[in-house]
Amino acid sequence: MAGIYYHIPFCKRICSYCDFYRTAQIGRLPQLIEAMCREIEQRHDYLRGEPIRTRYFGGGTPSLCTIEQLKSLLDTTARHFDCTGLEESTLEANPDDLNPQYLNDLRTIGIDRLSIGIQSFDDGCLRLMNRRHTAAQAIRAVKDAQAAGFDNLTIDLIFGVPGYGGAAWERSIDQALELGVQHISAYLLTIEPRTRFGVMAAKGELTEVADTVCEEEFMRLHERLSEARFDHYEISNYALPGYRARHNGNYWQGIPYLGIGPAAHSFDGDSRQWNVASVEGYIKGQSPEQEKLTTRNRIDEYIMTRLRTVEGLSLPDFEARFGSGERKRLEADARQEMAAERLIQTDERLSIPIEHLLVSDSIISSLFAD
């Protein structure tokens, strides 16, 4: 089993908080698609014959692609890889790119799951974040997708936005639930120096929301979604029963995946590769970089991915992979975190309690191999 990821790094407008690799040079999209098709052909043996179970178009903004462009990527993939066991094909979309015709056509080419980047249902908050859609467009996009037959929809929300907690956050949660989507990803806003928000913060025009307030917003979300039968299965992800994201699950479970496009990452079970983070360089055919994973890398990655999930880390599975010495080392490090009640052990499983998930990075890194 394996997954394939297609990275479309173009955006019409740059969001105030965005620190991803993306560019506004949309005119290069046709050349990029050709280069991506070439990459699929060239890397036809990367997955060593494993059948592709999940396909994922991420970005950037994949919904800027025409249906023909998306289809050419999917058709090229089907010619070079075993796609007979597909379980999920997701496309990230901006609400203002979606119309009934485009949605129908997406279904026709095999996209069965949409990830709609909404972030907030408050127009003031959307303007602050420099999003290019309104709340009304976001609601319309979800309803149009449902009318087109999409029954596996996920939306993104952001909390911890200065000035838009409290009632504004509550309204976004209400609206998300009212729309009847199957999956919600909720991210805490982090203000990175190189972003517009970072510049505003440096000038004193924006003040980061206090950690305690962010925690309250997160706990409010958690309560509301839990009441609505959403299962909190990973730090940022909630799903109705049967609707967990399968493609993202590949990353958390160490399943191989091939990443196509500028800045896309790949993992073949032994090593990681990443493509150049430049549309120009990528189209010219610049080679990817590669890193062979050491045992220590694997241990750290295992700890990080498992502790991000609500199921947590199974100690017997950890021991089976890395040996009893490493298990003893992990248990010794875990004792300190357990004493501080930042980690719990139930039977033979370690997990981070919900109220500490927002600071999970520091807990997880304290358990890394020496």
Return the amino acid letter for 290.
Answer: Q
- Inter-helix orientation angle 166-178/211-227, to 10°: 30
- Of 11 and 126, the one with the shorter C-beta distance to ligand SF4 is 11
CB of 351 to ligand SF4, least distance (A): 30
Which residue, 22 or 306, has its beta carbon nearer to ligand SF4?
22
Q: Least separation, in Å, of the C-beta of 114 and ligand SF4?
A: 15
* Contact between residue 129 and residue 161 where contact means Cβ atoms under 8 Å apart: yes
- Rank residues 97 and 337 by Cβ distance to ligand SF4 and give the closer one: 97
**The two structure tokens encoding residue 320:** 């089976």
Length of the chain equals: 370
CA 290 and chain centroid, separation: 22
Q: Please state the closest distance from residue 129 (CB atom) to ligand SF4, in A.
A: 8
**Residue number with CB closer to ligand SF4 (153 or 255):** 153
Beta carbon of residue 17, minimum distance to ligand SF4 (angstroms, whole number): 7
Q: Smaller CB distance to ligand SF4: residue 18 or 255?
A: 18
Q: How far is the CB of 201 from ligand SF4 (least distance, A)?
A: 17
Residue of this chain nearest to ligand SF4 (CB atom): 18
HEC per residue, the chain:
CEEEEEEECECCCCCCCCCCCCECCHHHHHHHHHHHHHHHHHCCCCCCCCCEEEEEEEECCHHHCCHHHHHHHHHHHHHHCCCCCCCEEEEEECHHHCCHHHHHHHHHCCCCEEEEEEECCCHHHHHHCCCCCCHHHHHHHHHHHHHCCCCCEEEEEEECCCCCCHHHHHHHHHHHHHCCCCEEEEEECCCCCCCHHHHHHHCCCCCCCCHHHHHHHHHHHHHHHHHCCCEEEECCEEECCCCCCHHHHHHHHCCCEEEECCCCEEECCCEEEECCCCHHHHHCCCCCEEEECCHHHHHHHHHHHHHHECCCEEHHHHHHHHCHHHHHHHHHHHHHHHHCCCCEEECCEEECCHHHHHHHHHHHHCCCCC
Q: Smaller CB distance to ligand SF4: residue 15 or 191?
A: 15
Find the shortest distance in angstroms from Cβ 197 to ligand SF4. Answer: 11
- Residue 11 vs 106, nearer CB to ligand SF4: 11
Residues that bind ligand SF4 (CB under 6 A): 11, 14-15, 18, 20, 22, 59-61, 117
- Whether the CB-CB separation of 235 and 357 falls below 8 Å is answered with yes
Which of 33/126 has CB closer to ligand SF4? 126
> Using CA atoms, how far apart are residues 267 and 357, in angstroms rounded to an integer?
26
- In the bound state with ligand SF4, the residue whose beta carbon lies nearer, of 39 and 156, is 156
What gap in Å lies between CA 52 and CA 84, rounded to an integer?
8
Nearer to ligand SF4, 117 or 259 (CB): 117
Write down the least CB distance from residue 69 to ligand SF4, Å.
17
State the minimum distance, in angstroms, from the CB of residue 133 to ligand SF4.
10
